[in-house]
């Protein structure tokens, strides 16, 4: 099962979807706005990412940066569940294993 997590109006997510569609790769799109991530997913993404799975360059993260960086791990997870636009996206998983954060055509080509 291939899952792509993100928000539909994100240009990077759209590029990943276009790649998958162009290569006729079936996937399930999980819209963070309708289905926020679970604590378990955030833990898995953090482990795979090697850090909190946040988009530190994005405007949403910049708005929450001070609060996010001043709280403990449990609170950080709650902030990400409530502020999904701060999560690095898209997140590509195959059989619940993280394969990519963000979109890079070369990286996706290597995966598929």
Residue 5 a catalytic site member: no
Provide the CA 79 distance to its chain's centre, in angstroms: 14
Q: How far apart are CA 13 and CA 43, in angstroms?
A: 21
Residue whose entry in the numeric block shows the structure tokens 């795979």: 48
Annotated active-site residue in 4, 10, 20, 80? 10
* Cβ neighbour number for residue 7 with a 10 Å cutoff: 16
Q: What is the DSSP letter of 89?
A: S
What residues act catalytically?
Answer: 10
């Amino acid at each position: 099962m291939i899952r792509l997590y993100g928000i539909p109006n994100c240009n990077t997510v759209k590029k990943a979807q276009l790649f998958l569609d162009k290569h006729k790769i079936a996937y399930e799109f999980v819209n963070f706005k309708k289905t926020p991530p679970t604590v378990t997913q955030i833990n898995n993404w953090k482990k795979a990412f090697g850090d909190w799975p946040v988009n530190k360059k994005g405007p949403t993260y910049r708005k929450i940066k001070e609060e996010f960086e001043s709280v403990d791990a449990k609170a950080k997870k709650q902030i990400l569940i409530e502020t999904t636009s701060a999560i690095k996206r898209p997140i590509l998983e195959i059989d619940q294993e993280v394969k990519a954060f963000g979109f890079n055509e070369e990286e996706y080509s290597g995966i598929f």
